[in-house]
Amino acid sequence: MANTHYPHCFDPANKTEIIRVWEEVRKTKSPISGYEGKEFRYLGKFVEYYYINKKKKRVYVEEYCILVTWLEDV
């Protein structure tokens, strides 16, 4: 996903149509300095949806992360 701002999917002002919500375990490089190069696992809650933008056009958002839960190292 590019560095694009999308409105929050559960805000009624955005007139969103939620297609699906799912959870998935993923890996990412550490966001904490001092842990460079180390990968961490997280449980992410994602949503796929449409919303109406300011120009009254319907915009599709393929994936928007709404919650991250860091998992313990195994």
Convert the pLDDT of each residue in 1-14 to its tens digit.
456 677 777 778 87
**Burial 45-65, CB ≥16 within 10 A → b, else e:** ebbebebeeeeeeeeebeebe
This prediction's pTM: 0.76
pLDDT, tens digit, 9 for 90 and up, residues 43-68: 999 999 999 888 989 999 999 999 99
